Amino acid sequence: MRITRIHLKNLNSLAGEWSIDLDRSEYAGEGIFAITGPTGAGKSTILDAICLALYGQTPRLGRLSAGSNDIMSRRAGECSAEVEFELASGRYRCTWYQHRARRRAGGALQPYTHQIADITRDPEHGEILESASSRTAARVTELTGLDFDRFTRSMLLAQGHFAAFLNASPSERAPILEQITGTALYGLVSRRAHERLNREKARRDALMAELAGLRPLAPEEEAALRAELRAAAERDDALAREESALRSALHWLEQDEELHAAQSDVRRKEEEHAAREQDFAPMRERLARARRALELAADHAALTALRERKNAADAALREQKAELARLDDARNDASARLESALADENAARKERERALPLLRAIRAMDARLAEKAENLTRLAKEAESARIRHDMRVRERDECLAAGIRLEEEKRKLDRALTDGSADDALGEALPLLRERLAALEARRKEARTAEEELETAQNTRRNTEREAAFRKRESGRLAELEDSVRRAAERAEEELAALLNGKPPEQPREELAALRIRSQALAALRGSAARRAAALRNRDEKNRTRIQISADIAAAEKELGILREREKLLVGNEALCQEQIRIAASVSGLAEHRSALRDGVPCPLCGAVHHPYASGGIPHEDEARASLRNTRTELEQTRAELLDREKACSAARRDQDNLSAQAEDCLKLAEAEDIFLTEHAADAGLSAGLLRSEEGGAVLERARAGLDASLERAECLNRALNAAEVRVTALRREAREAGDALNAARLEAERRESAAALARAALERTERTALERHAARDDAERAWQEALTPLHPLSGLSDADALRALEARRERRERLRSEARDLERRRERQLAARDALEEQLRADERALRETASALAAAQTERNAAEASRRETLRELDAGASGADEAEMRGENTLRAAEQAARRALSLREGAERALEASLSRLRELEQGGRELCSDLAEREDCFAELLRRKGFAGENGERCEDGGQPERLFMASLLNEEEREELRRKEQELDDEGKRLAALREELKARRAALDEAVPELPAPPPPPENGCPRLPARNGSAKLSLSARLEAVLAERARIQRDMGMKEQQLEADARLNRELGEKREILQRQEAEYRRWQDLHDLMGSHDGAKFRTFAQGLTFDAVIALANRQLVRMTDRYTLLRAPSADGEGAGLELAVRDHWQAGEVRTTRNLSGGESFLVSLALALGLSRLASRKIRVDSLFLDEGFGTLDAEALDVALDTLGSLRRDGKIIGVISHVAALRDRIGTRIELARGTGGVSTLHGPGCERIGA
């Protein structure tokens, strides 16, 4: 990283805008330059500008903000710092800027801006990389690899930090190393290792405690539980068989009752159906007539349409005759209009020929008038301009006169004010004395107020200490009573806890609660397993149904595949046949001459055949054969594509079938796994596995859960009460101890408060004496102020500061009045000169205005005469026209209108004649069509009457009337609309379907009755079996059903009791098995935890400690060795006498971070660095600073180095050595900047930036590349 340019503005004593170009050859040539100047000239400010531009903070001031800026120059409204630097990745510009409100020196500080830009390709503007003030410093750190601390250690060694490392004690040197090289990480690692060891130890202790609390069943207890469980299972199986027989008998009785009720219902429905059939008979007959009429509906519709056509033809004939008469009248009218239009056209043509000479004369007059109007307009504009100038001059003259009057009035007022305030001339000499005395008075008043505040504070302190002492005495008594009451409450709480335990060990209720919780968890797991088993079985059934449906789809698809394959074979044969036809057609068409020579019965000279089918024609066409071949191939491709799609669909269906089979198998396996789980874990909840798999399993689980929840609630209530009692006992004991401690502390505090009260009383006496002295001094200052103020006649009622400000305002007003008087006199002289000039301009404007008015009047007279002649000619041509163009346009329009009217009249007459001819033709067509329709209508009416007679719709005598007669009216009455006909048909169909359904249901019930009579079940025997065996169950025996229901309920109750007992025993066995498994797992975990604890114990022995000092000190020692090695490389260049080395501390402080030097001139004697001379200390400090710089820069190449430290402690020889050492760094490509006020540097360093102090504390820069901007 290399600094190439520094730009600063208004920083400390460097007021103004300055630029330093470090890219100049003077700096790169020597490799070292000096920044010199007197103390306070601003040498360190240049380094502050670098830090401010890069990181927004300085080594001396820290970070600047919107509320604090101590680096901005006095009387400046803005400041800035800008740095350009180079990295391996490119060139960058970093800018920091802050200003006050409105950029005025007294304005409030505004938030600063901070940004960085890449100027590699565009040095003038650059590409903004970051403009957010809060993130720019982080972006600089990201680009350079140096944060602010590392930058000030590696590139910029600020004033006061140069020898900090050398003079630090070992305990102070450790944090310096930690800050520079980041060894704080090692302390963190050491603390983390210590904390991890404690966590691993706590885990190990917790596991050991858990193992101590786990106690499984004894082997004899487990064997007894298993024997009881087997006996209960055998009894449960016997009861299950009895339950199944009872359920079968009850089911038979329920089916018998249902069948009897169904047979009665069928008989009732048959009777109702017969009644509805009888009611529907008339409707059935009506429906039959409607069906017969519906067969003739089409013929009747055709007859009706023919009648309507006949009526429409008659009406059209009448309308056409009326239209013919109207068209004849229209033709006569069009002829008359044509004759009138032709006469108008001839008149218009004669009028246009008469107007042509007059139009030419008017246009000549218009040209002359335009010239006169243009001249008149120009003269009018000149006259208006002259008048406007004259009016403007008049207004200016009036304003100038008014301004003169106002200036005279202001002069009189100022003269009176200056005369009235002549007494204020003495204020200039009196005000400094007044300010001095007012400052003294304010100081005395402030001291007096401070004394009063101190007196009040002392009084309050005395009162507070006395009250506090009394309070502490009362508090001691109260705490003694509290301690006694808390001890008695603790004894009562211990008695209550013993009563709750009732002689039991404290851990027994908790063990019982843990056992109940284990059983509750087992019951919850069983409920989940039963639900998953039922879901798996439902999924298996669903998958099987879907698989069967897919099998049917596959069979249908295979049939379609067979059809498609046969079709493919047929199309392949057709393709071969078409190809053969193409070949024959090609062969035959090429042998035309040979075919003409062939004769039937004569052998062919080529093939020897005696039959020649193509000799006389019938040759196949090649184009038709090729078209047939293309169609065949297209159909073949479509068939093959369809065949491929169907085969893919079949394959996909088979895969789906296989997947469904696998999924059904997985569901079955899942159900079997849940069966195994139920079998294995039913005992944990005290239940039977067989009962859980039955239909009653869910209800059994719910009852078991309800009972277990009640027991668990009681146990938890007891444990909560025990826990509360134990907590209360512990809390009361702790309160008793705390009350005793508080009592002792209160007694000590009471004694301390008594001592404090005595001290407060003594301090109050001293404060009262001081307050009296300060009040006397304030009164003396008051008298001196009044003596100086009274002769100046101040306003009454003002405070001292307001009175002083009023006097200053009077003096400023006096000075302002004098300045205004001088300005007023100058303005008055300028006003008089302006008035005289305006008077002369007014006279010239009036002469020009009169000349322009006479020329305008003459031009207007000539124009009026020309316009009168033109109006007379235009009136002769066309009185209504405004000009020649308009008159000509009117004549042309009149002529065009007459021509168009003639053409329209001619067109109308021709149209009327064509329409009349068309109407006559249409009339003849209508008359012919009417005669044909009359003939067709008579024939169709006869035919429809015959159809009505055949369908049974004839009248009493069978005659046909004019309008269809009685048969047609009967036919129309029999027709039904679609809704009525459909409704009757639906009712008829419903009655027929109901009859068929009742007959089928009667037969089905008859078959079910026969099957039920054959399947009468065996009556199950009661618990002692009867002597006469198992009787048959009588049908529809209500008492038998009640008896069986009572026996079933008793069996279910007995099974539930047995299953509860079995569940409790199985749950106990499962809990014991889980406990044994848990014991094994816990022992394995404990072994692993023990190994992990030993591993962290070994690491802790190496590097762990509670404060992180062990590992951090080791890492700091390594870093310290690296710093010493880098420093010795620089020290050997400056002197051959000393070598730095690491010496152990004599008292053990700093853990071996003590510095020493080996004196080679004293036979290698090791000495402490504290007895080095000033020059020797500087050389060693410089070597250490350069070593620290190299170490802090790490992998970042640092090409610029700034040293802000005095060289005044060095003699001439040591100064030469130090400068030679710094100059030798040029070989590494570094440029070193040394800041010092030592005059000897001017002779030894050729390139210098010199600061010169000017007036007002402002400095200037001089040197290569130094430039003041805007000077």
Interstrand relation of 1231-1235 and 32-36 (parallel, antiparallel or unpaired): parallel
Residue type, 1102: L
Q: What does the DSSP 8-state code read for residue 1257?
A: G
The per-residue DSSP string of 646-711 comes to HHHHHHHHHHHHHHHHHHHHHHHHHHHHHHHHHHHHGGGGB--HHHHHSTTHHHHHHHHHHHHHHH
Nearest to 1198 by CA among 1186, 1184, 1210: 1186
The tokens for 1021 are 């025997």
Question: Which pLDDT does position 162 carry in this prediction?
Answer: 56
| Distance from C-alpha of 652 to C-alpha of 634, rounded to nearest angstrom | 27
Nearest to 1246, CA basis, from 1221, 1266, 1263: 1263
Hey, what domains does the chain have and what are their CATH numbers? 1-155+1198-1271 (3.40.50.300), 321-420+807-915 (no CATH)
Is the pLDDT score of 49 beyond 90? yes
CA 923 to CA 328: how far, in whole Å?
14
Tokens 């002529």: give the residue. Answer: 895
CA distance 19 to 5: 7
Half-sphere exposure of 234 (CA within 13 A, CB side): 5
The C-alpha angle 300, 301, 304, rounded to 5 degrees, equals 85
Asked whether 1233 and 1202 are in contact (CB, 8 A), the reply is yes
- Of the candidates 978, 977, 958, which has an alpha carbon nearest to the alpha carbon of residue 967? 958
Helix (H, G, I), strand (E, B) or coil at 1230: coil
CA–CA gap between residue 1140 and residue 1125 (Å, rounded): 8
Q: Per-residue pLDDT for 642 more than 80? A: yes
In whole angstroms, give the CA distance from residue 438 to residue 454: 24
* CA–CA separation, 183 and 726 (whole Å): 49
Angle at 58 between CA 53 and CA 60, to 5 degrees: 160
Angle between helices 281-295 and 219-279 in degrees, nearest 10: 70
Q: How far apart are CA 849 and CA 855, in angstroms?
A: 10
pLDDT band at 938 (very low <50, low <70, confident <90, very high): confident
Query: Over the Cα atoms of the chain, what is R_g?
Result: 64
pLDDT tens for each residue of 984-1006 = 888 888 888 888 888 888 887 88
Q: Is 33 helix (H, G, I), strand (E, B) or coil?
A: strand
Please report, for the chain, how many H helices and E strands are present, in that order.
25, 18
pLDDT digits (tens, 9 = 90+) for 86-135: 988 899 999 999 998 888 888 888 888 999 999 998 888 889 999 888 89
What are the DSSP E strand ranges found in 831-934? none
Residue 54, pLDDT above cutoff 80: yes
Measured CA to CA, the distance from residue 1023 to residue 496 in angstroms comes to 54
Q: How confident is the model over 741-745, as a mean pLDDT? A: 74
Question: Is residue 139 within 8 Å of 130, Cβ to Cβ?
Answer: yes
Q: Kindly report, residue by residue over 544-560, the tens digit of the pLDDT.
A: 778 778 877 887 788 78
pLDDT given for residue 958 in this prediction? 43
For residue 989, CA distances in Å to 369, 737, 985 come to: 107, 101, 6
3-state secondary structure of 1253: strand
CA distance 710 to 634: 81
Whole-angstrom distance, CA of residue 926 vs CA of residue 639 = 60
Longest dimension (CA), the chain: 171
Helical segments of 951-964, H only: none
Cβ atoms 704, 1060 nearer than 8 A: yes
pLDDT at 422: 65
What is the rounded CA–CA span in Å between residue 862 and residue 873? 18
Rounded distance between C-alpha atoms, residue 373 and residue 864, angstroms: 10
Instruction: Say how far apart CA 988 and CA 1166 lie, in whole Å.
Output: 133
Amino acid at 8: L
CA within 13 Å, CB half, 1150? 23
Q: How far apart are CA 814 and CA 816, in angstroms?
A: 5
Q: Are 494 and 665 in contact (CB under 8 A)?
A: no
1033 band by pLDDT with thresholds 50, 70 and 90: very low
Residue 819 CA: distances (Å) to CA of 415, 426, 809, 831, 1166 = 12, 18, 15, 19, 82
Cα gap 622→1261, rounded to integer Å: 108
The more confidently predicted of residues 1128 and 1150 is 1128
What is the model's pLDDT at position 889?
Answer: 80
pLDDT higher than 70, residue 1037? no
Chain centroid to CA 1157: 64
| Better pLDDT: 232 or 624 | 232
Bridge pairing between strands 32-36 and 1248-1253: parallel
Residue 689 has pLDDT above 90, yes or no: no
pLDDT of residue 962: 38
Mean pLDDT of the region 1240-1256? 80
Q: Which range, of 44-48, 174-178, 859-863, 1259-1263, averages the lowest pLDDT?
A: 174-178
The Cα–Cα gap between 1228 and 1222 comes to 11
Q: What is the mean pLDDT of residues 831-844?
A: 78
Retrieve residue 982's tokens. 């459909």
For residue 1149, what pLDDT band results from cuts at 50, 70 and 90? Answer: very low
Paired tokens of 28: 């790169």
Average pLDDT, stretch 377-403? 81
DSSP secondary structure of 1127-1194: HHHHHHHH-SSEEEEEE--TT-TTSS-EEEEEEGGGTTEEEEGGG--HHHHHHHHHHHHHHHHHHHHT
> How far, in Å, CA of 714 to CA of 723, rounded?
14
Residue 1032 pLDDT level (bands cut at 50, 70, 90): very low
How does DSSP classify residue 632?
H
Order of strands across the sheet that contains 2-11: 127-130, 113-118, 90-99, 78-87, 2-11, 14-21, 1266-1269
**pLDDT band, very low/low/confident/very high, at 960 (cuts 50, 70, 90):** very low
Using CA atoms, how far apart are residues 158 and 59, in angstroms rounded to an integer? 7
Residue carrying the six token digits 């202790």: 205
* Structure-token pair, residue 1251: 């600061």
* Sequence-separated (6 or more) residues with CB below 8 Å from residue 1048: 243, 246, 247, 250
Q: What pLDDT score does 93 carry?
A: 95
Q: What is the mean pLDDT of residues 398-410?
A: 81
Regarding predicted confidence, which is higher, 121 or 533?
121
Average pLDDT, integer, range 553-582: 78
